[in-house]
């Protein structure tokens, strides 16, 4: 198929997105029903054209059309077919197209599921999403066209970056983008509420399932990224606090704060302004993540020198979206003080502690991530602060959150119930201390490891006590509504995650060894016997493959085959071989020959490392389960909450931005 | 509960903070792209380097002290496996290691030795010697506050120059190579 058609589809989608932004919002402002009713068809039309562009690019990869520059740079005749499909989002231009496609999927989902929302509100939400889409498509058309040609076409492509040739990374970007882009829905709800001057906070309830879905996708996207780093980077680490990871972690922190703030606003009416701000910032960090990672700005401002148009465009776009939203917030944020008052030892207080710690942690990560830029702006040189900065500070900030976590669900809304608190506190402390002692007896000796056991038990006991409390107090059939069940799953997931993260660090046995064939080394309870290295061929690489027989008490456990792959471009990629288990991973990574037939190898015994991702998966599941709650089902068409034709018009600035 | 957003001024705070942040980056970055006025960033310039005694990366049982390195000028390059700007600087070091004409000593800063070894194995090792400072205590004496940083230390153990941030061919040609020549002439 002709790639120019793809470009044409992009331009048509651009025009539709401009209309999708303008018509419904003007319709809602003028109370003009026909204009408002254009929203669904414009959104679907835009989806059709973006999907078409995406399909055409995929087709170009599938048929090895190397006359398309992007395909020539990121694919190769020998690339396996599944990586050809994934290569579509392997670099800047294609990943923007994927971002757009996902934005359209969310918008279409909203069109299908949001039919019962008040029409004016719905029109504004779709309009705001149209504005977001407009900026993105314009960016693509103006600076990052994926359909550019090179003539004459090369006979073969340069190949997909070998780092990206891994199943984990195939799923990582789409999931991550589902999360990033999903926050645009919460953002659109917030902006629509500000534009329409919503008097009540009911919009927050409508927004909650969408926020939870986005958060769940982002959670699993981060988990996939972390698992990928563990497999592919060949060092057995699972989190490096590098800028790319931080870029996905910041929206997660804000998103976590947001789903809790939304719960307070929904149920108690309080924190309305805060919920608005978090909705704006959640999406702002998603944009920052998308842009900064792809622009390379964080690793090098030289990215600007290579493509000044891209850099300037994205900064202006960020400034317009965030600055415009904050200006709208300043103009329109609720003037009335809202919400019911609450006591110190109430659920609200616990959730506020969590919110505060999460937002401060996000600010801390932002500062650390932008530190090279700050350094450059202050002219003191670009330097990175790494784990020595993030690790201890994050631990410090999360301590109050973890301490408060069990007491959030156990406390009541509004009122302090000190009797419940005292009883819960005694049990949680007793169990956590017992777990610490048991941990010490069975061999956890470092204070860090003991801290992990105690903290994980602290959190999990809290969830268990809450489950028991509901079982006793609530009538049958109403004990665990989905909203509550999701919360319990996610909180339990945090306990599992803490156990995994901390125990892995304190119990892992890691060895860097140089071994000759026939040699053995003892790691924990296991003996690793090195059998040698042979040459193997993959579809598009050659590899040196080591053979490592692992035994325990003389009995063979598993044979692992770590690889060191060389791709035609000369890039070398290590493929660690891992025996995965619920309680431990055995990990072998092949290094370099060190002469005399010996090889350097890294062999690890990593207990509980799966719990890190298991905890993340539970959190994701919790997010999805919450969505199923009856509370969020829109049964009847909802009466408009706003007074039509308000004297206070929609700020012109906002409309002008949309049309700009 | 009173929402602070109820007061008109409070509602402007996020916008003002955001505008300040944008202004800071725009002014800072634009200014620095057009003005190259690097001030001397360290009070330690032309002062003796602090005494240190740090384990070698290859063999942690062997210690390297300041005294071991006296007698000829050397470059001390602070790096870490977690430092992404170091990965950016790394190809420059690989290209220049033999062109400096003086030893290039790696200073592995707050890093697990296994990670550092893995990093050097993966990217290549530009250093003639690598010392490790896992706790970062010696780094405090040096006034190191991140990675990468590079010190030029003369044969008498006096810090002659310090560069913060990644070394680039331009920095090396303009600030480092002339100083190395001076030191060599003074020593000869």
What is the rounded average pLDDT of the residues A26-43? 93
The answer to whether position B172 is within a domain reads yes
Instruction: Decide if B164 and A271 are in contact by the 8 Å CB cutoff.
Output: no
pLDDT tens digit sequence for A331-374: 888 765 566 778 888 899 999 999 999 999 999 999 888 887 77
Interatomic CA distance for residues A554 and A526, integer angstroms:
9
Give the pTM.
0.84
Identify the residue with better confidence: A636 or A389. A389
Instruction: Decide if A375 and B84 are in contact by the 8 Å CB cutoff.
Output: no
Q: Which of B86, B115, B165 sits opposite A375 (nearest CB)?
A: B165
Instruction: Say yes or no to pLDDT of A464 above 60.
Output: yes
Interatomic CA distance for residues A14 and A16, integer angstroms:
5
Instruction: Decide if B14 and A326 are in contact by the 8 Å CB cutoff.
Output: yes
User: pLDDT band for position A208 (50/70/90)?
Assistant: very high
Q: Which of B27, B80, B115 sits opposite A235 (nearest CB)?
A: B115
How many structural domains comprise chain B? 2
In B, minimum Cα distance to A281 occurs at B14
In A, minimum Cα distance to B136 occurs at A388
pLDDT tens digit sequence for A277-327: 999 999 999 988 887 766 655 544 444 444 567 777 888 888 899 999 999
3-class secondary-structure state, position B77 = strand
In this prediction, residue A214 carries a pLDDT of: 96
Q: What is the CA radius of gyration of chain A?
A: 27
Q: A386 to chain B: which residues are within 8 Å by CB?
A: 80, 82-83, 110, 147
- Asked if residue B89 and residue B166 are part of one domain, the reply reads yes
Helices (H), chain B: 8-34, 66-69, 84-96, 113-123, 137-142, 169-171, 177-187
Q: A592 to chain B: which residues are within 8 Å by CB?
A: 121
- Asked if residue B60 and residue B31 are part of one domain, the reply reads no
Instruction: Decide if B32 and A377 are in contact by the 8 Å CB cutoff.
Output: yes
- Asked if residue B150 and residue B65 are part of one domain, the reply reads yes
In A, minimum Cα distance to B14 occurs at A326
* Spatial contact of A166 and A563, defined as CB atoms under 8 Å apart: no
Interatomic CA distance for residues B85 and A267, integer angstroms:
46
Q: Is A302 exposed, middle or buried (0-12, 13-18, 19+ CB in 10 A)?
A: exposed
Q: B137 to chain A: which residues are within 8 Å by CB?
A: none
**B118-121 contacts: CB < 8 A, separation 24 or more?**
B118/A234, B118/A235, B118/A512, B118/A591, B118/A602, B118/B81, B119/B81, B120/B57, B121/A591, B121/A592, B121/A600
Alpha-carbon gap: B118 to the closest alpha carbon of chain A (Å): 7
In A, minimum Cα distance to B15 occurs at A326
Q: Which of B25, B84, B136 sits opposite A242 (nearest CB)?
A: B84
pLDDT exceeding 90 applies to what percent of chain B?
20
- Asked if residue B12 and residue B75 are part of one domain, the reply reads no
Selected residue of A235, A242, A385 to mutate for chain B interface (largest B Cβ count, 10 A)? A235
The answer to whether position B40 is within a domain reads no
Instruction: Decide if B165 and A381 are in contact by the 8 Å CB cutoff.
Output: yes
In this prediction, residue A301 carries a pLDDT of: 45
Q: A375 to chain B: which residues are within 8 Å by CB?
A: 146, 164-165
The answer to whether position B41 is within a domain reads no
- Asked if residue B68 and residue B21 are part of one domain, the reply reads no
**A37-43 contacts: CB < 8 A, separation 24 or more?**
A37/A119, A37/A123, A39/A111, A39/A122, A39/A123, A39/A126, A39/A127, A40/A111, A40/A126, A42/A16, A42/A126, A42/A130, A43/A104, A43/A107, A43/A108, A43/A110, A43/A111, A43/A126, A43/A129, A43/A130
Q: Which of B110, B122, B146 sits opposite A383 (nearest CB)?
A: B146
Identify the residue with better confidence: A379 or A112. A112
- Asked if residue B101 and residue B29 are part of one domain, the reply reads no
Alpha-carbon gap: A166 to the closest alpha carbon of chain B (Å): 18
From A480, A482, A544, A487, select the one nearest A517 (Cα to Cα): A544
Q: B117 to chain A: which residues are within 8 Å by CB?
A: 512
Tokens at B89, concatenated: 């600087």
Tokens at A135, concatenated: 């900026």
Instruction: Say yes or no to pLDDT of A536 above 60.
Output: yes
* Spatial contact of A608 and A504, defined as CB atoms under 8 Å apart: yes
Instruction: Decide if B146 and A323 are in contact by the 8 Å CB cutoff.
Output: no
Interatomic CA distance for residues A171 and A609, integer angstroms:
20
Assign residue B119 the CATH number of its domain. 3.40.30.10
Instruction: Decide if B85 and A384 are in contact by the 8 Å CB cutoff.
Output: yes
ipTM comes to 0.72
Alpha-carbon gap: B134 to the closest alpha carbon of chain A (Å): 10
In this prediction, residue B113 carries a pLDDT of: 86
What is the rounded average pLDDT of the residues A488-509? 93
In this prediction, residue A298 carries a pLDDT of: 56
Instruction: Decide if B84 and A384 are in contact by the 8 Å CB cutoff.
Output: yes
Q: Is A421 exposed, middle or buried (0-12, 13-18, 19+ CB in 10 A)?
A: middle
Q: B9 to chain A: which residues are within 8 Å by CB?
A: none
Alpha-carbon gap: B71 to the closest alpha carbon of chain A (Å): 30
Instruction: Decide if B15 and A338 are in contact by the 8 Å CB cutoff.
Output: no
Give me the residues of chain B with pLDDT under 70, please.
Answer: 1-8, 28-43, 145, 187-188
Q: B82 to chain A: which residues are within 8 Å by CB?
A: 240-242, 384, 386-388
Instruction: Decide if A319 and B147 are in contact by the 8 Å CB cutoff.
Output: no
pLDDT tens digit sequence for A179-198: 999 999 999 999 999 998 87
Pairing of strands B159-164, A584-595: unpaired
Instruction: Decide if B15 and A602 are in contact by the 8 Å CB cutoff.
Output: no
Instruction: Decide if A323 and B19 are in contact by the 8 Å CB cutoff.
Output: yes
Contacts of A192 (CB under 8 A, 6+ apart): A121, A124, A125, A127, A128, A203
Instruction: Decide if B80 and A386 are in contact by the 8 Å CB cutoff.
Output: yes
Q: B29 to chain A: which residues are within 8 Å by CB?
A: 301, 373, 376-377
- Asked if residue B100 and residue B21 are part of one domain, the reply reads no
In this prediction, residue B141 carries a pLDDT of: 83
Interatomic CA distance for residues A243 and A289, integer angstroms:
9
Selected residue of A272, A301, A335, A379 to mutate for chain B interface (largest B Cβ count, 10 A)? A379
pLDDT tens digit sequence for B66-113: 888 888 899 999 998 888 778 878 888 988 988 898 999 999 988 888
Alpha-carbon gap: B125 to the closest alpha carbon of chain A (Å): 13
The answer to whether position B46 is within a domain reads no
Pairing of strands B74-79, B104-109: parallel
- Asked if residue B106 and residue B16 are part of one domain, the reply reads no
Q: B41 to chain A: which residues are within 8 Å by CB?
A: 380-381
Identify the residue with better confidence: A413 or B33. A413
- Asked if residue B91 and residue B117 are part of one domain, the reply reads yes
Interatomic CA distance for residues B172 and A39, integer angstroms:
58
pLDDT tens digit sequence for A100-152: 999 999 999 999 998 889 999 999 999 999 999 999 999 999 988 999 888 78
What is the rounded average pLDDT of the residues A623-650? 67
- Asked if residue B29 and residue B61 are part of one domain, the reply reads no
Alpha-carbon gap: B13 to the closest alpha carbon of chain A (Å): 8
pLDDT exceeding 70 applies to what percent of chain A?
90
Cis peptide before A152 (omega within 30 of 0): yes
The answer to whether position B30 is within a domain reads yes
Q: B6 to chain A: which residues are within 8 Å by CB?
A: 273, 334-337
- Asked if residue B20 and residue B87 are part of one domain, the reply reads no
In this prediction, residue A657 carries a pLDDT of: 47
Interatomic CA distance for residues B131 and A272, integer angstroms:
54
The CA-based angle B81-B82-B88, given to 5 degrees, is: 75
The answer to whether position B47 is within a domain reads no
Q: B18 to chain A: which residues are within 8 Å by CB?
A: 322-323, 326
Mean pLDDT score of chain A? 87
Residue A157 CA, chain-centre distance (Å), reads 31
The answer to whether position B48 is within a domain reads no
Instruction: Decide if A330 and B12 are in contact by the 8 Å CB cutoff.
Output: yes
pLDDT tens digit sequence for A572-582: 778 889 998 89
What's the domain range around B21?
Answer: 1-35
Instruction: Say yes or no to pLDDT of A591 above 90.
Output: no
Q: Which of B5, B115, B164 sits opposite A381 (nearest CB)?
A: B164
In A, minimum Cα distance to B2 occurs at A337
- Asked if residue B77 and residue B2 are part of one domain, the reply reads no
Alpha-carbon gap: B43 to the closest alpha carbon of chain A (Å): 14
pLDDT exceeding 90 applies to what percent of chain A?
52
In B, minimum Cα distance to A387 occurs at B82
Interatomic CA distance for residues A268 and A547, integer angstroms:
61
Instruction: Decide if B82 and A386 are in contact by the 8 Å CB cutoff.
Output: yes
* Spatial contact of A369 and A386, defined as CB atoms under 8 Å apart: no
The answer to whether position B165 is within a domain reads yes
């Amino acid at each position: 198929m002709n790639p120019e058609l793809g470009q044409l589809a992009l331009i048509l989608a651009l025009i539709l997105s401009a209309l999708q932004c303008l018509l419904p919002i003007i319709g809602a402002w003028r109370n003009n029903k026909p204009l408002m009713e254009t929203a669904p068809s414009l959104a679907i039309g835009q989806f059709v054209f973006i999907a078409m562009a995406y399909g055409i690019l995929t087709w170009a990869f599938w048929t090895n059309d190397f006359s398309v520059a992007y395909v020539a740079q990121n694919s190769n005749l020998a690339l396996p077919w599944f990586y050809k499909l994934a290569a579509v989002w392997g670099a800047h231009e294609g990943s923007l197209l994927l971002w757009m496609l996902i934005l359209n999927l969310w918008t279409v989902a909203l069109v299908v599921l949001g039919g019962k929302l008040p029409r004016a509100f719905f029109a504004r939400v779709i309009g705001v999403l149209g504005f977001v889409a407009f900026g993105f498509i314009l960016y693509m058309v103006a600076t990052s066209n994926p359909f550019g040609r090179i003539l004459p076409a090369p006979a073969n492509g340069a190949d997909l970056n070998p780092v990206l040739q891994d199943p984990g990374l195939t799923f990582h970007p789409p999931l991550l983008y589902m999360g990033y882009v999903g926050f645009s829905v919460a953002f659109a709800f917030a902006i629509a509420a500000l534009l329409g001057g919503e008097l009540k906070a009911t919009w927050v309830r409508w927004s909650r399932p969408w926020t939870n879905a986005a958060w769940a996708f982002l959670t699993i996207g981060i988990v996939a990224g972390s698992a990928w780093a563990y497999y592919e980077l060949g060092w057995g680490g699972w989190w490096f606090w590098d800028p790319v990871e931080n870029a996905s972690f910041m929206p997660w922190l804000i998103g976590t704060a947001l789903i809790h703030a939304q719960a307070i606003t929904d149920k108690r009416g309080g924190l309305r302004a805060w919920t608005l701000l978090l909705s704006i910032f959640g999406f702002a960090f998603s944009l920052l993540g998308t842009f900064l990672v792809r622009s390379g700005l964080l690793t090098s401002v030289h990215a600007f020198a290579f493509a000044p148009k891209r850099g300037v465009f994205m900064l202006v776009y960020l400034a317009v979206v965030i600055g415009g939203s904050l200006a709208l917030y300043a103009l329109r944020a609720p003037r009335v003080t809202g919400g019911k008052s609450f006591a110190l030892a109430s659920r609200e207080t616990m959730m506020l502690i969590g919110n505060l710690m999460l937002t401060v942690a996000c600010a801390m990560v932002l500062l650390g991530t932008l530190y090279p830029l700050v350094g450059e702006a202050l002219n003191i040189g670009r330097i990175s602060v790494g784990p020595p900065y993030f690790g201890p500070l994050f631990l410090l900030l999360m301590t109050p959150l973890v301490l408060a976590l069990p007491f959030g669900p156990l406390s009541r809304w509004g009122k302090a119930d000190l009797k419940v608190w005292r009883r819960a506190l005694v049990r949680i402390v007793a169990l956590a201390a017992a777990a610490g002692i048991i941990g010490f007896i069975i061999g956890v000796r470092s204070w860090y490891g003991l801290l992990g056991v105690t903290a994980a038990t602290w959190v999990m006991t809290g969830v268990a006590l809450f489950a028991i409390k509901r079982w006793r107090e609530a009538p049958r059939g109403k004990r665990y509504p989905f909203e509550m069940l999701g919360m319990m799953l996610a909180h339990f997931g945090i306990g599992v995650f803490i156990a995994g993260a901390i125990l892995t660090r304190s119990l892992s046995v890691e060895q860097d060894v140089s071994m000759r064939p026939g040699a053995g080394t003892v790691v924990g309870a296991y003996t690793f016997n090195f059998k040698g290295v042979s040459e193997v061929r993959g579809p598009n690489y050659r590899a040196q493959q080591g053979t490592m027989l692992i035994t325990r008490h003389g009995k063979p456990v598993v044979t692992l085959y770590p690889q060191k792959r060389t791709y035609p471009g000369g890039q070398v990629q290590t493929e660690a071989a891992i025996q995965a288990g619920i309680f431990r991973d055995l990990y072998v990574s092949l290094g370099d020959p060190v002469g005399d037939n010996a090889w350097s190898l890294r062999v690890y015994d990593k207990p509980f490392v799966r719990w890190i991702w298991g905890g993340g998966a539970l959190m994701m599941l919790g997010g999805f389960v919450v969505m199923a709650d009856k509370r969020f089902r829109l049964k009847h068409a909802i009466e408009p909450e706003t007074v039509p034709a308000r004297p206070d018009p929609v700020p012109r600035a906002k409309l002008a931005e949309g049309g700009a | 509960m009173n929402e602070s957003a109820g007061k008109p001024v409070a509602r402007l705070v996020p916008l003002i903070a955001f505008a300040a942040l944008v202004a800071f980056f725009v002014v800072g970055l634009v200014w620095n792209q057009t003005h190259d006025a690097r001030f001397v960033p360290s009070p330690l310039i032309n002062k003796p380097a602090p005494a240190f005694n740090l384990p070698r990366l290859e063999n942690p049982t062997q210690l390297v002290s300041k005294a071991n390195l006296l007698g000829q000028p050397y470059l001390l390059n602070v790096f870490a496996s977690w430092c992404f700007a170091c990965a950016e600087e790394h190809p420059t070091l690989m290209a220049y290691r033999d062109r400096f004409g003086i030893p290039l000593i790696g200073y592995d800063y707050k890093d697990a030795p296994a990670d550092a070894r893995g990093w050097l194995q993966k990217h290549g090792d530009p250093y003639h010697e690598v010392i490790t400072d896992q706790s970062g205590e010696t780094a405090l004496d040096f006034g190191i506050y991140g990675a990468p940083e590079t010190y030029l230390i003369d044969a008498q153990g006096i810090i002659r120059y310090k560069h913060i941030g990644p070394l680039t061919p331009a920095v090396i040609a303009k600030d480092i190579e002339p100083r190395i020549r001076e030191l060599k002439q003074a020593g000869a």
